[in-house]
C-alpha cells in the first residue's frame, strides 16, 4: 500500500462518495476506485459497501481508517520536523468542541488557521463529551475540549478554564448578576436540562443532592439551540455557563443569575489522543483555542478564570 491509497481511503470515508472525493483530490474517479480496490486486495478485506447513494465504510474499513489517519499524520509530522519549527503546517487536524463552545470559537479558530497555516485542512466536530471521548479513542479526532474534569487518565489532559454556572431564564424572569440565587431555591422551579448522558446534568444533580432538594425537570433536551429557544420562550429555566448565552443576555432576551451555596464550578480541559504524539497542527489548535478563550474572558464574555496548563 502507499500514501495515495491511504489518502483515498480517508477522503472517501469522510465524504461517502467516490465522485466527491475525486473532486476534492482532483483525481479522476476511476483512478480512485482502482486505489480502493488495490487496497482492499492487499488488506484482504472489504473496506466499503457500494450502493446507489455512495460508499458506506465497513467495520474493517473503520479499523483501516484509524490506522491510515495515524500514518498520514505521522508522515506530515515528519515532513514538518525536517522542514524546521517555523515551517508552514499542512495536513489535517480534527478538533472536537462541545456545542456551546463551538458557537463561540469556531469562527476565530478558522481565522487563526487561515491567517497562519492556510494549508491545514481543519475539521470541526461539535458534540457532547461522551461522543468526543469515543472519537478521541477511535482516532477520529486529534484533540477535544471536554467539560468533564474526571476525564480518563489515559488521555493527555491540559487544564484550560474553570467557569461558574448560572440560572438562566427568559427576558422577563428578572435574574441579575447582582442577586445570586441559592441552589436550594431551585426546588420547585421548572428546569430544562440535558439528559443524564451528559456531564452537566450529572453535575447539577450532584449539587441538588448536596443541597437536599429535588429538581423539577420539566423537559430533557440534548439540543443546545432548542434548549436556548425554549428558555427564551418561557417554557422553563436552565442551568448553564453564561458565556454561550451572553449575546441573548445583553439583548435582554434572556436573564441570568449566579448560583451560590454551593456555587457550581465547571472545568474545561484540552484533551489529546492517548496513544500517539501530539502533532504540530494539534498543538497549534490547542494554543489557538486557549488564546481565543483568554481574549473572550478579558472582554467579559466568560465568567471564570484561565487555568495553567
**Domain 88-160+267-306 class, CATH top level:** alpha beta
Query: For the domain bounded by 1-87, which CATH number is listed?
Result: 1.10.10.10
Banded pLDDT at 254 (limits 50, 70, 90) = very high
Least trusted range by pLDDT, from 61-65, 110-114, 150-154, 157-161:
150-154
12 neighbors 32 (Cβ within 8 angstroms): yes
270 neighbors 145 (Cβ within 8 angstroms): yes
The answer to whether the 88-160+267-306 and 161-265 domains have the same CATH topology is: yes
- Between 33 and 196, the more confident residue is 33
pLDDT one-digit tens code per residue, 13-37: 888 888 888 887 888 898 989 999 9
| pLDDT, position 214 | 94
Domain 161-265 has CATH 3.40.190.290: yes
Q: Looking at residues 158-181, what average pLDDT do you find?
A: 95
Helices (H), the chain: 3-15, 18-25, 29-43, 59-83, 99-116, 129-138, 199-211, 224-232, 246-250, 280-298
pLDDT one-digit tens code per residue, 47-102: 999 887 789 999 999 999 888 887 877 777 676 666 555 667 888 899 999 988 99
- Name the pTM for this structure: 0.76
- What are the extents of the domains in the chain? 1-87, 88-160+267-306, 161-265
Amino acid at each position: 500500500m502507499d500514501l495515495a491509497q491511504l489518502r483515498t481511503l480517508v477522503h472517501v470515508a469522510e465524504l461517502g462518495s467516490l465522485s466527491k472525493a475525486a473532486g476534492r483530490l482532483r483525481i479522476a474517479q476511476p483512478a480512485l476506485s482502482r486505489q480502493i480496490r488495490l487496497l482492499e486486495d492487499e488488506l484482504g478485506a472489504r473496506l466499503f459497501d457500494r450502493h446507489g447513494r455512495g460508499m458506506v465504510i465497513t467495520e474493517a474499513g473503520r479499523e483501516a481508517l484509524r490506522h491510515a489517519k495515524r500514518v498520514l499524520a505521522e508522515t506530515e509530522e515528519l515532513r514538518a520536523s525536517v522542514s524546521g519549527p517555523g515551517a508552514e503546517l499542512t495536513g489535517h487536524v480534527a478538533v472536537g468542541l462541545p456545542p456551546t463552545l463551538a458557537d463561540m470559537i469556531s469562527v476565530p479558530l478558522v481565522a487563526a488557521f487561515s491567517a497562519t497555516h492556510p494549508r491545514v485542512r481543519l475539521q470541526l466536530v461539535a458534540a457532547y463529551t461522551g461522543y468526543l471521548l469515543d472519537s478521541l479513542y477511535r482516532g477520529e479526532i486529534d484533540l477535544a475540549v471536554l467539560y468533564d474534569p474526571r476525564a480518563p487518565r489515559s488521555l493527555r489532559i491540559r487544564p484550560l478554564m474553570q467557569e461558574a454556572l448560572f440560572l438562566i431564564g427568559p427576558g422577563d424572569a428578572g435574574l441579575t448578576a447582582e442577586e445570586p440565587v441559592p441552589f436550594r431555591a431551585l426546588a420547585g422551579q421548572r428546569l430544562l436540562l440535558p439528559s443524564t448522558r451528559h456531564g452537566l446534568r450529572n453535575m447539577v444533580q450532584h449539587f441538588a443532592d448536596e443541597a437536599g432538594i429535588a429538581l423539577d425537570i420539566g423537559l430533557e433536551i440534548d439540543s443546545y439551540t432548542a434548549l436556548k429557544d425554549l428558555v427564551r420562550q418561557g417554557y422553563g429555566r436552565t442551568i448553564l455557563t453564561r458565556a454561550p448565552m451572553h449575546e441573548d443576555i445583553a439583548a435582554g432576551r434572556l436573564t441570568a443569575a449566579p448560583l451560590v451555596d454551593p456555587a457550581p464550578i465547571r472545568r474545561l480541559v484540552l484533551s489529546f489522543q492517548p496513544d500517539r504524539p501530539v502533532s504540530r497542527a494539534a498543538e497549534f489548535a490547542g494554543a489557538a483555542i486557549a488564546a481565543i478563550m483568554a481574549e473572550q474572558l478579558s472582554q467579559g464574555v466568560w465568567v471564570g478564570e484561565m487555568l495553567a496548563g
